[in-house]
Every structure is written in C-alpha cells, then in structure tokens.
A and B are shown apart, each in its own frame.
Chain A
Amino acid sequence: DTAVSQTPKYLVTQMGNDKSIKCEQNLGHDTMYWYKQDSKKFLKIMFSYNNKELIINETVPNRFSPKSPDKAHLNLHINSLELGDSAVYFCASSLEGYTEAFFGQGTRLTVV
C-alpha cells in the first residue's frame, strides 16, 4: 500500500505538448510538494501546498501549474513542454510543521 504514489512513472512526449503528473498520498498529511531532479542529480523544490493552499513557489516558469483538488492530491500540469523540462519529478508529503517528508518514486519525464 504505497504511501505517496505518482503516475505515470515514465512519460515521453514531444516538445510543445501539455502533460500532467498526478500525485496522491494516503498518509493523512496536509502538506505536499513537488521536486525536480535534473540530469546532474540536483534535487530542487518547486512547489509546496498546505491544505490546498500554495505555500512555496520557487522560481519556476509559469508553464508549470500545480493543482491541489484536496489535501491528498497534488497534480502538476506542464504546458508547452521544452527539452529542458526533461527530468525526474518527485512528489512528497509531510505533516504541517514537520520536515520529515515522504517521497514518491518519481516520474521520469523525457521531452523529445
């Protein structure tokens, strides 16, 4: 019973397309995050949501839009995909006020 699950695990798409990555957590957490890990393996936070409210929005292009329909879900929609968007995207969750985060298995996005 996966705690933080992401779909799809792999995503290959062409430049210019719009795609979404879904994330769900069954831990009862109220804070969820998106991280990006590039080809050099650096992990960087992109967004953080607490109780469906955007808390952290790092310097991320407007083409990236997170959406949190409820506390257990945080989806990432990406418009007009570019080659540089190729990376592994990780979703994570934690309790509010705690930095012990649980990460999903990642979505490997390849833009061709």
Chain B
Amino acid sequence: DAKTTQPPSMDCAEGRAANLPCNHSTISGNEYVYWYRQIHSQGPQYIIHGLKNNETNEMASLIITEDRKSSTLILPHATLRDTAVYYCIAVYNQGGKLIFGQGTELSVKP
C-alpha cells in the first residue's frame, strides 16, 4: 500500500471551506484514495473514496490530481462538529487493509 503524507494540523474558520491535502506520490494504478475521520473519543468514520475521478457525496468532495500523486478533501462549509483527525489512506479496494497514518488534526474555529 502506498504511503501517504499529510500536514499534522490545520485550522479552518467555521462556515468556510476546509481543504485538506494529501500526498501519495507512490500510489499504484489500482490503489484507491480513502478518507476517514476520527472525532475525539469516537471510532473512525468513512468519508469518501476515489480512484482517479473527482468524487462528491453529502459529506465532502474529493479532488484527485491527474497524475494521482496527490488529492484534496474538501469540506465545503466546515462546522465545529467537523473538528477531528482526518486520515488519507491509499489502499486496494478489494478488501484492502486500512493502514492509518498520523492524519491531519483539523480544528474548526468560530
């Protein structure tokens, strides 16, 4: 599984878009990019995943660069409840093993 690199922490103002970057320069052609988050004291929560096309769901958007070496998770209107650690994981979709890195600690401030 490809290694991913994320900034350790980020701040975002409430109501603004939160853009969380992830670098996965060694990703292989059939590895997906998954995003999870962990709100304090809770279990991780799946957010979104993609292979090469941009994806959007009710929680977030995922933008993957054309060369697939990096991606950005976008929370369009961050709320205080979005304060969490966000994990970017590159994994084979066929029952791939989730390997969590350090993630990005996002603090949404009023």
Interface residues of A (CB under 8 A from B): 4, 31, 41-45, 48, 50, 55-56, 90, 92, 94, 96-106
* Size category, B interface: 20 to 34
Contact A90 B44 (CB under 8 A): yes
Which candidate, B18-26, B59-67, B87-95, is the interface stretch facing chain A?
A: B87-95
Residue of A whose beta carbon sits closest to that of B42: A105
Contact B43 A99 (CB under 8 A): no
Contact check: which of B38, B42, B98, B102 meets A101 at CB < 8 Å? B98
Q: Does B99 contact A (CB under 8 A)?
A: yes
**B32-76 CB contact bits vs A (8 Å, 1 = yes)?**
101000100111111001000000000000000000000000000
Residues of B within 8 A of A56 (CB): 97
Contact check: which of B41, B46, B92 meets A102 at CB < 8 Å? B46
- Closest A-B pairs by Cβ, 3 of them: A103-B43, A43-B100, A99-B96
In the assembled complex, 8 residue pairs joining A and B whose CB atoms fall closer than 8 Å, in A order, are A4-B43, A43-B87, A45-B97, A56-B97, A92-B44, A99-B93, A99-B95, A103-B44
